[in-house]
Amino acid sequence: MSSTPPKKGDVEPQAQSPDGSDPPPPMDREAQETQTQGLGYDFEVKEQDRWLPIANVARIMKMALPENAKIAKEAKECMQECVSEFISFITSEASEKCQQEKRKTVNGEDILFAMTSLGFENYAEALKIYLSRYRE
pLDDT tens digits along 66-115:
999 999 999 999 999 999 999 999 999 999 999 999 999 999 999 999 99
What is the model's pLDDT at position 56? 95
For the chain, give the percent of residues with pLDDT over 90: 54
DSSP state for residue 52 in the 8-state scheme: -
Q: Measured between alpha carbons, how far is 10 from 29 in angstroms, rounded to an integer?
A: 28
Condensed to tens digits (0 to 9), the pLDDT of residues 8-25 reads 444 444 444 445 555 455
What pTM was computed for the model? 0.61
User: Does the pLDDT value for residue 4 go beyond 80?
Assistant: no
**49-134 to CATH, choices 3.40.190.10, 3.30.70.1020, 3.20.20.70, 1.10.20.10:** 1.10.20.10
Q: Quote the CA–CA distance of 81 and 124 in Å, as a whole number.
A: 21
The rounded Cα 89 to chain-centroid distance in angstroms is: 7
